[in-house]
Chains A and B, each alone.
With several copies, the nearest count.
Chain A
């Protein structure tokens, strides 16, 4: 494609060492691109903002389920009720995964998709075909695949090769689950105001499925590379790691996608049965990419990298800050590049947005706990199964919404009004569940 060519023509970088698809060790790339490598290494530094970065110690991020007991209550019956902590920098992603108590429950090999530089291993497993290799990893145990990863010498967190084409350093996506997800999205009718290249592809011949590396704009790739991991997913033993985008990127689209998904055994999709109520719960995970898509920034063509990897000056040239972190640690470059307001004003705007979102989250937490209590009481009173079942379905809808915004990591910033709408629905369904249970 033309873009590739252009890049090859200029290929602006003097290389001291050649790098290739199997070079997962960032240190090697660092010899060619020291500025970016330095930034990358900084992701090991502890950072914290009011809602971002991580509390807790240098050694171990704070325990979310201790801080917000209603989270733990929601997760009873699932590994997340054992251990669920603040995220931190990319440098820790593999170590933190290996350290989580959630591994005490059986977990699948799919987990590594987003926590390690795993492409070489996928190729090996698929006999050269990464997609094939990936598809079956859900059958392997986490421990098994993790061992193979370490043995193969590719046990690194996300690395240069995961986002860059070693040929010319152009951006590219590599993750199979993202490929399948974005293709399903493109093939659907869902509106994608923030992703012009998909609209373009739809208008075209549609001979080949949508290929982000060929069809997407550079600006879109500045978000797609993050969308490889910062998304809602299914990742367990019953089927391949899946991003639920086949009906669109909105919360409601993902919900109907899951509702219409059946397991091999014909049972309707669910992540776990709630320990106290037996409700078939949908677990939501970090839907940053999806929520961002509902916001004004996405519509305006503002990418993840614009805020989380803003340009910085290195001598005469500009480089992207590879210290991926909260933009609030970096407001002048992350925001003032586009906004004319002062740094304090920009911080205040974020704080107002996050405070409102936090208040609604707490309100939702209260509602969901009262729903579960009401369920136990009703069951105690021997309420009819039909009543209990209606309540379970409402709990599923409520928790899905509440968890969605709780798991999303911007405390509502990525799309303030949409996040508030989702929380309003969460509260409504939780309270409706209570009334159902109380109605004689």
Chain B
């Protein structure tokens, strides 16, 4: 598959786009009357914690949590190191937006399983890979190159976070 053409976190468009997203989200939330509530109680707060356990407040994050513990990075990176933008402003927005969306989806159950990382989620991931592995990736990755001229780290390393995908936890022979 071609490298996904989504906006890289941190850019101006990104902030604008997500500022709107957040506004919109809260708008709908207010309308539905659940947003604020669930966001606060169910999980929203946990988004501001670096503790992986915060993520498994939601049982549906369980497979990824389990996978993460078995995968190569559990000693070196926690969830937010990979899944949230590094620099503060976008991080704050992403947290609010994700936290809101996840809480809302979680409460209404309006999400498709298996859960798949979304294009924007992938862009965040890619940026984080490059952040930690800047030196190593120097010759093969060019941060300012347009997406179609980039090579996705996940193309080869999709398993670094959670091992072999088994998003619904189907037992493969490796974990009988």
Contacts and interface: CB of A to CB of B under 8 A. Distances in A.
Interface of A: 2-3, 6-7, 9-10, 12, 170, 196-197, 217-220, 222, 300-302, 306, 310-313, 316-320, 332-333, 336-341
Contacts of B174: 301, 340
A302 B173 CA distance: 8
B102 to A, nearest CB: 16
A336 B137 contact: no
Contacts of B145: 3, 6-7, 218
Interface in B107-166: 112-114, 116, 135-140, 142, 144-146, 148-151, 155-159, 163-166
B168 A170 contact: no
Contacts, number: 122
B146 A317 contact: no
B31 interface: no
Contacts of B149: 3, 170, 217-218
Contact of A217 (B116, B140, B148, B159): B148
9 contacts: A6-B144, A6-B146, A12-B139, A218-B176, A301-B173, A312-B168, A336-B167, A338-B156, A338-B167
A301 B168 contact: no
B167 A217 contact: no
Contacts of A306: 155-156, 170
A217 B108 CA distance: 38
B140 A340 contact: no
B144 A9 contact: yes
Contacts of A300: 1, 172-173
A338 B158 CA distance: 8
Contact of A337 (B114, B163, B176): B114
B157 A318 contact: no
Main secondary structure of the interface of A (DSSP, over half): mixed
B124 to A, nearest CB: 17
A7 B142 contact: yes
Given A170-B149, A306-B156, A337-B114, 10 more contacts: A10-B142, A196-B2, A301-B174, A311-B156, A313-B113, A313-B136, A317-B136, A338-B166, A340-B159, A340-B164
Nearest to B158: A340
Contacts of B156: 306, 311, 337-338
A6 B146 CA distance: 9
Given A340-B158, A341-B1, A218 B151 contact: yes
Main secondary structure of the interface of B (DSSP, over half): loop
A6 B173 CA distance: 18
Given A219-B172, A220-B2, A337 B157 contact: yes
Residue picked from B112, B137, B163, B173, most chain A C-beta under 10 Å: B173
A306 B148 CA distance: 17
B3 interface: yes
Given A170-B149, A219-B151, A317 B139 contact: yes
B2 to A, nearest CB: 4
Residue picked from B135, B136, B139, B150, most chain A C-beta under 10 Å: B139
Nearest to A35: B139
B135 to A, nearest CB: 5
Nearest to A311: B168
B171 A318 contact: no
Given A219-B176, A337-B156, A337-B167, A301 B2 contact: yes
B17 interface: no
B139 A219 contact: no
A195 B145 CA distance: 20
B176 A318 contact: no
A39 to B, nearest CB: 13
Given A219-B3, A219-B151, A3 B167 contact: no
B146 A318 contact: no
A87 to B, nearest CB: 24
B148 A317 contact: no
Contacts of B155: 219, 301, 306
A170 B144 CA distance: 14
Given A217-B149, A311-B170, A337-B157, A10 B144 contact: yes
A354 B168 CA distance: 27
Contacts of A302: 172
A196 B173 contact: yes
A263 to B, nearest CB: 39
Closest CB pairs A-B (n = 7): A301-B173, A311-B168, A301-B1, A217-B176, A217-B2, A337-B156, A337-B168
A354 B1 CA distance: 22
A318 B139 contact: yes
A9 B149 CA distance: 15
B50 to A, nearest CB: 26
A181 B150 CA distance: 25
Contacts of A7: 142, 145
B146 A3 contact: yes
A214 to B, nearest CB: 10
B59 interface: yes
